[in-house]
Chain A
Amino acid sequence: MLSPKLLALLVAKEWRELMASRAYWLLLVFIGPLVGNSFITAVNLYAEASGIGGGAAALAQGLTPLDGILVPTWGAYDLAVTLLFPFVAIRLISAEKESGAWKLALQLPAGLGTAITAKVLALLAGWAIVWLPGLIAVVMWKAYGGHIHLPETWDLLLGHWLRMLLSASVAMAAAALAESAASAAIVTLSFTLGTWALDFIAAGRGGWLAEVAAFTPTAALRWFEQGLLRLSTLLVMLVLALAGFALAAIWLHQGRKLSARWFKTAALLAASLAVIGSSAAVRASWDLSENRRNSFPLADETALRQIHEPLRITINLAPEDPRLMDYERNILNKLKRILPKLTADFAAQSRTGLFESGGAEGERYGEIWYEMAGRKVMNRSTTEPIVLEQLYELAGIPIPAKTEESEFPGYPLAAHPKAARLIFYALWPLSACLAWWLARKFQE
């Protein structure tokens, strides 16, 4: 039973432990320059693309602060959460295991669940402070006259928050399983490298592997960076994070027999896989990007929603073929959001498609087949209007009349990153060091 009073007491204890952690303070000192460097580079590049030299902006419509400023600036957090933050999370468990404090903690009246919850809450609070430079960057961008579209900004922040939660859960599970902090760090980094390898392999193979790889931390974050909130991604990341914390709880209960811990681990794995499997199939998503990059024009979406029959698309394009990347980004992912009964098959056998010219199979390379209610048509186009026209014809729906939708104007801004160097390279690290010193004094 979770007692609020005990939880508050334990959160306060974990907060003190976090404040005593050198790893946390080093993360805090370095995050300023990391974010600052990303922000300054992004602002300069954005200014160049916006015609800082006096000329017209190259392509005003293509200039979105999400892509140009927010994603690269917050990209620093992806680096921090991969390479620095796990050590902070590991310490919260390993230090207690190695010092013997965990033997006392297990006997405290709060219970294991409350103890783990307290650690997670303290980490979340600590991470909120780590976010300050990123938030300062957003405020500075506004101060330069930059534009911010709140829904896509919140979506990006949610993605980074989930990324951190996942990282914390992996690190805590590793710390619970491993004998020492060093072993836990190796396990955590191996997990990260494993997900990178999965991303890389899936990019070359496609198919079910690509479906799985869509939920690796890096790939999952990419959806949020596109301004898309996919319920499946959100649920899978949450379930993975909770499973990591539960795994930590199982292995931190040293009073249980090893066989019981393995049994519980297997049960947790099975339950998590079942929930993840059903969560991954959820199609609901929201396009929160200002330029509606993840959606078809409204008239087309209304027309497409009239299609209730299952649609099967067979794509004869190799995973590394740029046409497939275009097709997925501009058509397939958008269609998946509109048509619940859509299935896509990837028929190409090779990675690149360069050597698929021979034989009957090779001659079909580049073909994209659409099948609905027994009717089949083939098209090689990866261009949105052509494919949509084909689909309307197949479904027997009239082509919708083009409507006057307000076009995304783009937000060119030729600004200099004023005061950014001073704030991120000098004031932030100095403030963090001062806060570190004060925290030590306060704890005495």
Chain B
Amino acid sequence: MNEPLLKVRRISKRFANRWVLRDVSFSVRQGEMLGLIGPNGAGKTTLFECLAGLAPADAGVLTFRGELLPAANRQRALFYLPDGISPWAAQTVRWALSFFEQLYRPAQTSAAELAKELKLDHLLSSRVSSLSKGERKRLLLALGLLTPQPLLMLDEPFDGLDLRQTRDVMSLLRRHTEAGRTMLLSIHQLIDAARVCDRLVLLSEGNVVGEGTIDELRSYANLEIPHAGLEEIFLALT
């Protein structure tokens, strides 16, 4: 549980003259659910894209299980599920699930099981373009969970989901981590992050301002309020 699966060291990214990420370093441990939290514009999505090799970082390296992980090999170690995408809009949910299932056969969980767990089974004949935001999010989660990479990075996995769906998805993700998968989640809802994540990385204006469990962060923030919640910690550190 405590062995670092992925080490992110001094990742920096600049757009024109503006640094979006600056010397970002943190570790992801095997089998944990690590939350990346930060306000809008903190650089969460850019960081995810740099980690996945979908955007070039200006500096920094990744090591995976102790070995350097160049951008060209990232897809062997991790899979990134972006937020707000609507892939293959003209195709049906059934096709999208089956496409991923065939690509990564044999998957740990079948597409049919995931469709059932994510309540997509009644939408199998629907086109992706006709799905609501929440339905689309559930489909994307199913696609992500069909991939075999040891580390799954989810950008805003609960965005668009109602309370019940959020709880269901949290418990599904938890079951997958218990089965050995590691999750890195970007979450802007601090309540959700506090509920689901084992540890947290706080990102503010492209810098890591804290990393650890809530207790560790509370002590790091040196807050005088006993039992301060993540909101207070976040405000104190950013």
Which residues of chain A have a CB within 8 Å of any CB of chain B? Answer: 6, 9, 13, 16-17, 20-21, 95-96, 99-101, 103-104, 106-110, 254-258, 260, 443-444
A9 close to B102 (CB less than 8 A): yes
Q: Which of A17, A95, A100 has the most chain B CB within a 10 Å cutoff?
A: A100
> For residue A6, which residues in chain B have a CB less than 8 angstroms away from its CB?
103
Interface residue total, chain B, C-beta cutoff 8 A? 30
Number of A-B contacts (CB under 8 A): 75
From the candidates A16, A96, A109, A255, name the one contacting B55 in the complex (CB within 8 A).
Answer: A255
What is the CA–CA distance of A304 and B131 in the complex, to the nearest angstrom? 73
B79 close to A107 (CB less than 8 A): yes
Task: Indicate whether B222 reaches chain A with its CB closer than 8 angstroms.
Answer: no
A255 close to B92 (CB less than 8 A): no
CB within 8 Å of A: which of B102-160? 102-104, 125, 127, 143
A17 close to B82 (CB less than 8 A): no
Task: Indicate whether B172 reaches chain A with its CB closer than 8 angstroms.
Answer: no
What is the CA–CA distance of A256 and B50 in the complex, to the nearest angstrom? 10
Q: List 10 A-B contacts (CB under 8 A).
A: A9-B103, A17-B90, A17-B91, A20-B90, A99-B87, A100-B85, A104-B82, A256-B56, A443-B91, A444-B127
B75 close to A109 (CB less than 8 A): yes
CB within 8 Å of A: which of B62-115? 71, 74-75, 79-82, 84-92, 95, 99, 102-104
A259 to chain B: closest residue by CB: B56
A255 close to B90 (CB less than 8 A): no
What is the CA–CA distance of A254 and B81 in the complex, to the nearest angstrom? 16
**New contact pairs (15) apart from A6-B103, A254-B55, CB-CB < 8 Å:** A13-B88, A16-B91, A17-B88, A20-B90, A99-B87, A99-B89, A100-B82, A103-B54, A104-B85, A106-B75, A107-B80, A109-B75, A254-B54, A255-B71, A443-B91
A101 close to B88 (CB less than 8 A): yes
B56 close to A107 (CB less than 8 A): no
> For residue A101, which residues in chain B have a CB less than 8 angstroms away from its CB?
85-88
A255 close to B91 (CB less than 8 A): no
Which residues of chain B have a CB within 8 Å of any CB of chain A? Answer: 49, 52-56, 71, 74-75, 79-82, 84-92, 95, 99, 102-104, 125, 127, 143
A443 close to B103 (CB less than 8 A): no
> For residue B143, which residues in chain A have a CB less than 8 angstroms away from its CB?
104
Provided the pairs A13-B99, A100-B87, A101-B85 are in contact, do residues A107 and B52 lie with their beta carbons within 8 angstroms?
A: yes
